[in-house]
A = this chain, B = another copy of it.
């Protein structure tokens, strides 16, 4: 059973995980970050010791959780203290195998959620995607995840990459559509507050419906007059016009293929 953890990283994901684990009575021995202040800032909140020198990383942890930018996972994994320990990273699109050359006990502990500074997420609802090189490690990582979330899935590296791609569409691209809406409102000097209830309802619908059932608006209705007047409004914004056109076409196509499937 995993009782003592060293967390390597002090960013948004590391912080969210550290806090959730701490509140689930897991001991966070140390927070490691190259920047001592970052380590200290998080360590204070979770009763841990801040460490920025690799030599001072404890050898006694049951798990070394690497929660850093994808591009530096390797650099952290090769730290001496982690050699052949149970080491898991928290990244969506990095294969488990990135850790194989440093330990025989590699794992993945990936929370499928968007984390922002200063915002608490309800971790109990966050799907955790677990993977391990040794089957004997799977149960340990799964139990740990179950201490903080009710939604734990066994997901291999290939599935996880695909899940992460889907999450990019849903979260990053969804958010960007909201961002473009905001840019338009700003230009038109209309308050963003006017769209907030719509954004809430857009997401709320999908808790009980599928996106194809929830879709409304000119593209899915094939309402060419409205589409035309929208494109005219965007005539001096070629980027937005391009996105408007491609996304509208994609909405129509998806609606047609969904209809045809129902017919068959």
A interface, size bucket:
35 or more
A185: chain B residues within 8 A (beta carbon): 162-163, 166
Interface centre among A199, A204, A212, A234 (most CB of B within 10 A): A199
Q: Is the interface of A mostly helix, strand, loop or mixed?
A: helix
Cα A169 to Cα B231 in complex, Å, equals 12
Known A-B contacts A162-B233, A172-B216; the reply to A197 vs B127 at CB < 8 A is yes
Does A2 lie at the interface of the complex (its beta carbon under 8 Å from any beta carbon of B)? no
Known A-B contacts A163-B188, A223-B70; the reply to A182 vs B209 at CB < 8 A is no
Q: Mark A236-256, 1 if CB is under 8 A from B, else 0.
A: 000100111011011101100
Name A178's contact: one of B69, B113, B206, B250 (CB within 8 Å): B206
Name A202's contact: one of B112, B114, B188, B190 (CB within 8 Å): B114
A182 to chain B, nearest CB (A): 5
Does A260 lie at the interface of the complex (its beta carbon under 8 Å from any beta carbon of B)? no
